[in-house]
Amino acid sequence: MKVQKIYKTDEGRQKILNYYSNIKTQITYPYKENYIDTQFGKTYMIEAGNEAKPAVLLFHGSCTNSAMWYSDMKILSEHFHVLSVDILGEPGNSEPVRLDMNGREYALWINEILQKAGIKKASIIGNSLGAWMGLKFGVNFPDRLDKLVLIAPSGLVQPKFSYIFKTIIYAIQGEKGLKKIGKMITGTDEMPEAAMEFNKLVAAHFTPIMGALPLFTDDELAKLSMPVMFLAGENDVINDAKKAALRLTDNVPDPRINIIKNNGHIIYNVMEEIIPFLRK
């Protein structure tokens, strides 16, 4: 697999990974780190919880890594074997490779992770890009997915024109423009200071995926036979939450829908709702 230039400089890459490593010192619960060799690239994950309990895979959003799940993993690990995966080609410890998003490669990658981890069936919680990963796996390997939780998912509707237009304008403005994109996404949502500092490093040193992610067809969504939960903010600047929810209700049997009032694309503190859904 060809390694791509996703970091602007080697020095910048090291700054990002050093900050990522330092964040782990704040973890207060038992965990372990693993690398899994896949045909698509070496994949890093952090694990917590009893391996005898049901498995839950976490997939983060764009321009971040497993650190976004650290606080959620504490409560999840009380009930599940939790595996938080660094997505290939994102600013984490997995290899800097990006796969074909129009094909089955990402689904095959996740399937290989499960196989090599010795997990027959798992639930997935995905955020934004990570939710797209969950959908990609679910429509290709529905029998291996127990439940699917989609947080502010991509891939259900086209991004809002206003978001696309602004990202095109901001993208040509370099680092300053990338910061504007970050601010547009976070809006008035409060972010932890550590996350804000990490976002600054990413804006300065990382090249994100640009453009809309491929949409899933109605026929693909109809393959999601497992229970599905959808969580999105009513003020999401990227996707129209109501239209995305409607696509699910039109194609998926009885999805659990929650459009959160006065909330944007960034969603916090929803594990109290997600855990009962996963345990049911």
Instruction: For the chain, 280 residues long, give each residue's pLDDT as a single digit of tens.
Output: 555 789 999 999 999 999 999 999 989 999 999 999 999 999 999 999 999 999 999 999 999 999 999 999 999 999 999 999 999 999 999 999 999 999 999 999 999 999 999 999 999 999 999 999 999 999 999 999 999 999 999 999 998 656 554 555 555 555 665 565 555 555 555 556 777 788 889 888 999 887 789 999 999 999 999 999 999 998 887 789 999 999 999 999 999 999 998 877 788 789 999 999 999 8
Residue 79 has, within 13 A of its CA and on its CB side, a CA count of 14
Strand order in the sheet with 81-85: 32-38, 41-48, 81-85, 55-59, 122-127, 145-151, 228-233, 256-260
- Number of domain units in the chain: 1
Q: Cα 37 to chain center, whole Å?
A: 20
Would you call 261 exposed, middle or buried from its count of C-beta atoms within 10 A (0-12, 13-18, 19+)? exposed
Residue 3: inside a domain = no
Dig out the tokens for 124 from the structure.
């997935």
Supply the DSSP string of 128-173, one letter for each residue: THHHHHHHHHHHH-GGGEEEEEEES-SSSSPPPHHHHHHHHHHHTT
- pTM for the whole structure: 0.90
Residue 1: inside a domain = no
Residue 231: inside a domain = yes
Residue 183: inside a domain = yes
Residue 4: inside a domain = no
Residue 99: inside a domain = yes
CATH number at 83 reads 3.40.50.1820
Contact between residue 141 and residue 226 where contact means Cβ atoms under 8 Å apart: no
Segments forming the whole domain that contains residue 220: 10-279
Residue 5: inside a domain = no
Residue 266: inside a domain = yes
